[in-house]
Amino acid sequence: MKYLLLVALLLTACAAPPVVPPVKVPVYGSCVKVPLARPAFATKSLLPDASDGEILLALARDHLVHFKYEGELEAVIAGCL
């Protein structure tokens, strides 16, 4: 009688599937859809024997290009946060 009761109890325990709560796991996804193209800076194309005036003019030309590129990068980073 004990064994019959034990078997009946074990069979009823297996009858209902256990309730498993859903687990949400964060998955990494890149927030940058299109990588920005790096601008061609004038200082990179200078020859090693460039004069101080040529270097200064190249830096002045790169100044605004650099700020524009930096602003675009900051906008992309702000979209990731």
Residue that has been written with the tokens 């004038």 in this structure:
42
**Residues present in the chain in total:** 81
Q: Give residue 37's domain range.
A: 32-81
In a domain, 2, yes or no: no
In a domain, 39, yes or no: yes
pTM exceeding 0.75: no
Which helix (H) or strand (E) segment is 2 a member of?
A: helix 2-15
pLDDT band, residue 2 (cuts 50/70/90) = confident
In a domain, 64, yes or no: yes
Question: How high is the pLDDT of residue 34?
Answer: 84
Question: What gap in Å lies between CA 75 and CA 65, rounded to an integer?
Answer: 16
- Contact by Cβ (8 Å): 66, 41: yes
* Mean local confidence (pLDDT), 3-17: 71
In a domain, 45, yes or no: yes
In a domain, 76, yes or no: yes
In a domain, 1, yes or no: no
What total of structural domains would you count in the chain? Answer: 1
Q: 18-74: per-residue pLDDT in tens?
A: 788 999 988 787 888 888 899 999 999 999 999 999 999 999 999 999 999 999 999
What's the distance, Cα to Cα, between the start and end of the chain in Å?
A: 66
Question: How high is the pLDDT of residue 15?
Answer: 63
In a domain, 16, yes or no: no
